[in-house]
Structure 1
């Protein structure tokens, strides 16, 4: 007893991390193998600790080859390492690469050492949990080694392999191994196989394996049933889904809330609202817990059937049962109210869930209503949020501002912009730019000018987009002097003019008759290192065409090609129209040929010009009407 005590103390010192193994109370020796009551050798746990210590210590100290020390240690022992001991050592190694090296090292220890199904299974399990990119090929190679060595695996080996592999071909290999090794598949094997086919998105084979499993008298657990039901339902296999669902209940595997949710979701997508409600009632009567996902599923099913009153009734029940509605819940309800023209019910929905109505939910509703084109409802809801919350939600305010601008309600947008700070939200250039764009689009120049002055005085500072929008807006309204003044302010600011800035100014000058200055600005931008783009060239070509400077338009078109800037269909349409109106039919035909060679597709405007070319002799000059081809080709928000 004293000798055993000394041995235990020695083992604690050499391998403290493995000390729990000693609680098994197993008597061991390094020089002989004890046997258990059935005559099997008992693993030498001190040896296992020592080997593990050598391997893990060398790994932590970045030693290159720990197997030299290990070989010296093991060669001093008799008998040598057993497969049971090798399997336990593998189990203690957390590094897959180290485990694989040790596995191959064991084969070199002695001619008599031969891996068995347990060591192979242990290594398969380690590799199945690793992230090694070559893990699948490594396992396939090990299986080839097993076959060459005549080693037959057991059913645990197959179960591990099934859980590891994820494609149909490898799973077929696993089934061939079952036959080759003359194994009997158990319930766990079938479960692993069903789940493996489901992971590879093959619900057909999973259902086939399930049928074989059922014939053998086995059943899945609730998790396995739910996986199979979910896959079959997603693939639209309704009859098979219901067959499995009924089997589940006959096998005394009680469906849980996830089971019912899968079934209700499937029926909801099929438009079977009554069936979804029936399943919901069955779920409640069976005592399943109800959560937000369950309620959302049934609400969505009812919404698909456009059953507004039942949707609101179930929503009320959801809130009363303490389930918090999510954005998804509100989106489903909002969509069905819009589709059915019953947005007047939105107030009732908000009243029902008022204890859950946060700023983010208000913001979501405002955004969604705005996107759906219900600006008035969005604004009314926004006002409710404004009145009931001291602090604002920036997303909601931006959405409301965008909605007002899109609807052309610029007075309300300016008013909102001025009041945002009351709710603790700082305005930024993006907000101002939205309002500037709306004002410019409607040519409300006085409001635009006033707001710009306010921005310069109170902040925020204008950014490059602000200047570009203003230049474009002033140009659209024919305020050339204001556009030039704004451009000069841009040059003096921290921002510097970009291509869009010059495009906006050139467009403004050219469309308002200042073609020479427009051309001068074109040269200026090149001198400053800015390369004109297709919009720049198209704008200036159109301006030359409108002032009957056809030669300059054609020269600029050639310059555009030489600069490596490819014209688009708009550019071709502009020049074709210019050539047609000045009677240059031959040049127009050549240009059309060039268009086709470039691989561009003619549009309706191209064909309209071609029809005019084919209609007969053209006068050299024709009375001009407003050119409908391009309008304002500059996008200041580009």
Structure 2
């Protein structure tokens, strides 16, 4: 951009903005207003020069010129205000070092925040002196200061207003645009661009490219094309980066058919599509499942001697794999290697995914070995897709072997991925493989213990489950109700009910109350083992300790008593149980009658007397026989 201060088209808008926005910079004024004019008194002239408030600007400028460290005496500082700061800066226009020294003194030593007008004067001085790094630093500082204010001032308009007071360079407006984009304020950058165009300032193509890229990332497609149209109106010629960004814009908008017209336009302006252009278009075609168009562009690249690179081939391999054509994808992979393009982890992952989607695990494993041999380290995604592929096919042991193999090569596998595999092994009842992998992870999650114990118990390996439960105690981890339940159920199934009861009593000592499942498992176990004394003892324990009188458990014990054929003992058991709160129901009487049927002799009389006496006894207590 060339400065043209006498250009009438620039001066007119400047005056108009001055009238409209005189108060636009008020929000940042934390520097005190000058008190010099209010205190101005002819008697000040009788004071020494260094103590005369009316000479404060002269004193500061003189000290700056002589490079003194003390710019002003302490008793004079209260007389320094916004007007004095501006006057000092204007006097130092030809000495940017002195101006910046004074500006930093006001900010840092006096702990004042200069006004936005003070900032703009300093920016013009630095830009005029071609101190561009300092200008950009100060612009970034002003933007950060302004963005945190409730009422944001317009930095652009205040820069324009300041041009009437000092020498200035139009490049400062282009730098403002860059500073906004650098700060991530794309919207403010776009507004600044529009204002620059309106006032006749021409941004540099580099700044425009940054703005286009920022708008593209925000998916502001219309604004991108608006900028491109403005470029044509004011005669800004785009470069290769511009066209590549706009190619992205076209692809993101979904109007891929517009590409050919845009490429023609690009060539009319003397720019040939480069590798970035082609890669952008090929990737867009692949994403929209237009693989034929992508392959056509690939051939055009070769005809025009634009060498396809790794990105080109990876995109096409991905497209072929998405269509399930893994063999063609692998051929293209080999072609890529033959022309000297070295595959990376992403290109290998793309092809491995293609094979896994086709459930061709052996081929994907071969590719894994190949990439390791070539010095390409598998990443987290490589491990994930391979392990998930084995899990999908139910080949969990192969997945474990893969992890062991990768670790031998020094390749770390995500702990979370290994934990998921341990749980999957437990769920398909492969507890020993799960435990082996779990010991390699060296994790002590309660969830894993529960899964392993559950799996061991389902498979009947209760001793291994008990060993894990004991390990939990050593690691200060309290087994849960679920842990105890599955161990007790397994012990009862294996006719080790006595040990199950020991575990149950351990639970009670730890403050964990057994649930009904544990209660019924223990009673069933004792009944299968014909250990009626222990069963009865347990019924009494639950009734007295937890006030649990479960008819299902009672009937199961009573049935065994009846099946033994000793009716007398059955009735005695029934009476003992009634004392602790158990009440027989219709099923209880059925078991009793079935037992009596098996007896000869006095059956009818005895059966009738048992039923009658029990009914009378319950009626006298106000209760009735029910089916519960």
TM-score range, shorter chain: 0.5 to 0.7
Q: Deviations over 1:328-366 (max 9, x none)?
A: 434433454455566675576467545148896698457
Contact 2:429 2:455 in 1 (8 A): no
Root mean square deviation of aligned Cα: 5.3
- Decide whether aligned partners of structure 1 residues 12 and 471 sit closer, same or farther in structure 2, where only a CA change above 3 A counts: farther
Matches within 5 A, 1:191-230: 191-195=244-248, 202=254, 204=256, 207=259, 211-212=263-264, 215-216=267-268, 218-219=271-272, 222=275, 226-230=279-283
- Decide whether aligned partners of structure 1 residues 145 and 318 sit closer, same or farther in structure 2, where only a CA change above 3 A counts: closer
1:158 match:
208
Q: Deviation of residue 274 (structure 1)? A: 0.6
Q: Deviation of residue 220 (structure 1)? A: 5.8
- Structure 1 residue 122 and structure 2 residue 170: aligned? no
- Structure 1 residue 54 and structure 2 residue 139: aligned? no
- Structure 1 residue 307 and structure 2 residue 360: aligned? yes
The alignment partner of 1:306 has SS state of: coil
Matches within 5 A, 1:536-575: none
1:418 match:
467
2:503 match:
451
Q: Deviation of residue 127 (structure 1)? A: 0.7
- Structure 1 residue 272 and structure 2 residue 325: aligned? yes
2:451 match:
402
Per the normalisation by structure 2, the TM-score is 0.56
Contact 2:462 2:490 in 1 (8 A): no
Quote the Cα distance in structure 1 between the aligned partners of 2:480 and 2:541.
Answer: 18
- Decide whether aligned partners of structure 1 residues 439 and 286 sit closer, same or farther in structure 2, where only a CA change above 3 A counts: same
Quote the Cα distance in structure 1 between the aligned partners of 2:508 and 2:190.
Answer: 71
1:473 match:
517
Matches within 5 A, 1:538-617: none
Which of 483, 486, 489 is 1:435 aligned to? Answer: 483
2:226 match:
173
Q: Deviation of residue 394 (structure 1)? A: 3.2
Q: Deviation of residue 441 (structure 1)? A: 7.5
Quote the Cα distance in structure 2 between the aligned partners of 1:425 and 1:213.
Answer: 75
Matches within 5 A, 1:242-261: 242-250=295-303, 252-261=305-314
The alignment partner of 2:515 has SS state of: helix
Contact 1:195 1:206 in 2 (8 A): no
Contact 2:361 2:389 in 1 (8 A): yes
Contact 1:264 1:297 in 2 (8 A): yes
Q: Deviation of residue 273 (structure 1)? A: 0.7
Quote the Cα distance in structure 2 between the aligned partners of 1:482 and 1:203.
Answer: 78
- Decide whether aligned partners of structure 1 residues 442 and 148 sit closer, same or farther in structure 2, where only a CA change above 3 A counts: same
Contact 2:403 2:413 in 1 (8 A): no
Quote the Cα distance in structure 1 between the aligned partners of 2:480 and 2:374.
Answer: 44
Q: Deviation of residue 172 (structure 1)? A: 2.4
Contact 1:375 1:404 in 2 (8 A): no
Q: Deviation of residue 204 (structure 1)? A: 3.6
Quote the Cα distance in structure 1 between the aligned partners of 2:257 and 2:65.
Answer: 57
- Structure 1 residue 355 and structure 2 residue 404: aligned? no
2:351 match:
298
- Decide whether aligned partners of structure 1 residues 348 and 66 sit closer, same or farther in structure 2, where only a CA change above 3 A counts: closer
Q: Deviation of residue 54 (structure 1)? A: 1.1
2:136 match:
91
Unaligned stretches of 5+ in structure 1?
1-6, 15-29, 33-42, 75-79, 488-504, 515-545, 548-622, 627-638
Larger Rg: 2
2:582 match:
none
1:566 match:
none
Q: Deviations over 1:192-230 (max 9, x none)?
A: 3234566x6757489568634653453566566555544
Q: Deviation of residue 271 (structure 1)? A: 0.8
Quote the Cα distance in structure 2 between the aligned partners of 1:370 and 1:274.
Answer: 35
Q: Deviation of residue 120 (structure 1)? A: 2.6
Quote the Cα distance in structure 2 between the aligned partners of 1:81 and 1:301.
Answer: 61
- Structure 1 residue 106 and structure 2 residue 159: aligned? yes
1:553 match:
none
Quote the Cα distance in structure 1 between the aligned partners of 2:99 and 2:426.
Answer: 74
Q: Deviation of residue 174 (structure 1)? A: 0.7
- Decide whether aligned partners of structure 1 residues 372 and 246 sit closer, same or farther in structure 2, where only a CA change above 3 A counts: farther
Per the normalisation by structure 1, the TM-score is 0.55
- Decide whether aligned partners of structure 1 residues 50 and 448 sit closer, same or farther in structure 2, where only a CA change above 3 A counts: farther
Quote the Cα distance in structure 2 between the aligned partners of 1:342 and 1:31.
Answer: 77
1:184 match:
237
The alignment partner of 2:367 has SS state of: helix
Q: Deviations over 1:375-429 (max 9, x none)?
A: 345633543775xx5x83335x954751552685275366245247779982623
